[in-house]
């Protein structure tokens, strides 16, 4: 293959590689601890609540690569066509063409999966806000909450005893999660923001002690936007310690050993000031969590009226 055709093919492959990296920046699951990557994504494409690019971000993802491809075709169209014909004459060339064609196809399928995950988030949020107020007859618990004894982002050991004296919102998430975790973290964060400052604690227990290490907790706390809450604790520990806590809290998880992805329900629990597990929800609306905290406070101190 003469130099001109080689240069044309090399330019096309470079375009493909750059386009794939561009799309990966927009759609690849990012660890919550990698704050600079999240900021870069927001600057380049914008970020909607469901994790997808904003409208102008889609334009950058589609128009820019197509404009570059059009320029390549305009400059090297004849050389590219002849290079494809030359490759098609050989069996190894056909294999190479098939591999190159399969890469963008796999990318399209992968992006489609990410879009489907984002749509799932939208559905969960919409469903959670269409169920009406918290029923007066919603069941409450009286058993003491299992202990935690895990390390938070300040390096302190957090236990149920250390949380006594005020209601506590407990949920479970992990830094690499892009589906359920953003939902439950957003619910507890918004619920805490609707209540008087300092009147409720927030505890987020990591489901992924393999990757969510103690050193990553400060960045994880900031990425989940709970760093501004006066009483927020993001907890982790050794693998065995965390798994023991999950078992005690009846928190089922399924971990993919190859990818590290973890499937889990959106459990949110309200712990009363005396340490009892008063309410348990699965991805509830924010209004339910706020109302449950108010009921817990009213039950523990009849003369107190919280947030009313």
Percent of the chain with pLDDT over 70: 87
> Over the stretch 137-159, which tens digit does the pLDDT of each residue have?
888 988 999 999 999 999 999 99
Asked if residue 308 is part of any domain, the answer here is no
Q: What is the pLDDT of residue 126?
A: 57
Out of 102-111, 121-130, 299-308, which region has the weakest mean confidence (pLDDT)?
A: 299-308
Average pLDDT, the chain: 84
The CA distance from 113 to 117, in Å, is 6
3-state secondary structure of 284: coil
CA distance 242 to 236: 7
The answer to whether the beta carbons of residues 288 and 177 sit under 8 Å apart is no
Q: Is the pLDDT of residue 38 over 70?
A: no
Q: Using 50, 70 and 90 to split pLDDT, how confident is the model at 120?
A: low
User: How many Å apart are CA 70 and CA 216, to the nearest integer?
Assistant: 44
Among 82, 98, 128, residue at a domain's last position: 128
pLDDT digits (tens, 9 = 90+) for 206-257: 999 999 999 999 988 988 889 888 899 999 999 999 999 999 999 999 998 8
- Count the domains in the chain: 2
Q: What is the pLDDT of residue 34?
A: 56
Residue 228 lies in a domain: yes
Domain ranges, residue 106: 3-128
Q: What Cα–Cα distance (Å) separates residue 299 from each residue in 110, 132, 232, 235?
A: 50, 22, 23, 28
- pLDDT (tens digit per residue) in 64-90: 888 988 998 898 888 888 888 887 888
Q: Quick check: is 141 in a domain?
A: no
Give the least confident one: 105-109, 189-193, 197-201: 105-109
The CA-based angle 145-305-191, given to 5 degrees, is 55
102 and 19 assigned to the same domain = yes
CB of 169 closer than 8 Å to CB of 192: yes
- 137 assigned to some structural domain: no
pLDDT, tens digit (0-9, with 9 covering 90-100), for 25-35: 887 766 554 55
pLDDT tops 50 at residue 296: yes
Asked, for residue 142, whether it belongs to a domain, the answer is no
Task: Check residue 301 and give its pLDDT.
Answer: 61
Supply the CATH number for residue 181's domain.
3.40.30.10
């Amino acid at each position: 293959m003469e130099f001109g055709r080689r240069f044309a093919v090399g330019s096309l492959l470079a375009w493909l590689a750059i386009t794939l990296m561009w799309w990966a920046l927009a759609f690849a699951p990012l660890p919550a601890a990698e704050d600079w990557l999240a900021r870069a994504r927001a600057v380049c494409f914008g970020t909607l609540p469901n994790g997808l690019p904003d409208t102008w971000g889609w334009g950058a993802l589609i128009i820019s690569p197509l404009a570059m491809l059009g320029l390549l075709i305009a400059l090297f169209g004849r050389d590219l066509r002849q290079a494809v014909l030359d490759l098609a004459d050989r069996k190894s060339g056909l294999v190479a063409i098939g591999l190159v064609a399969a890469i963008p196809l796999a990318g399209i399928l992968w992006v489609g999966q990410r879009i489907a995950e984002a749509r799932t988030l939208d559905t969960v949020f919409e469903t959670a806000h269409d169920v009406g107020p918290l029923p007066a007859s919603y069941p409450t618990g009286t058993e003491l909450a299992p202990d935690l004894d895990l390390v938070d982002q300040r390096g302190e050991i957090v236990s149920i005893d250390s949380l006594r004296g005020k209601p506590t919102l407990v949920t479970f998430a992990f830094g690499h999660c892009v589906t359920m975790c953003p939902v439950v973290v957003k619910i507890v964060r918004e619920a805490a923001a609707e209540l008087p400052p300092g009147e409720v604690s927030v505890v987020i227990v990591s489901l992924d002690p393999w990757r969510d290490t103690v050193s990553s907790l400060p960045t994880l706390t900031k990425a989940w936007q709970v760093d501004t809450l006066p009483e927020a604790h993001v907890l982790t520990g050794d693998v065995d310690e965390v798994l023991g806590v999950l078992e005690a809290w009846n928190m089922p998880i399924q971990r993919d050993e190859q990818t590290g992805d973890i499937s889990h329900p959106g459990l949110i629990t309200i712990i009363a000031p005396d340490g009892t597990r008063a309410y348990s929800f699965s991805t509830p609306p924010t209004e339910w969590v706020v109302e449950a905290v108010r009921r817990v406070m009213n039950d523990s101190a009849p003369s107190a009226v919280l947030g009313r």
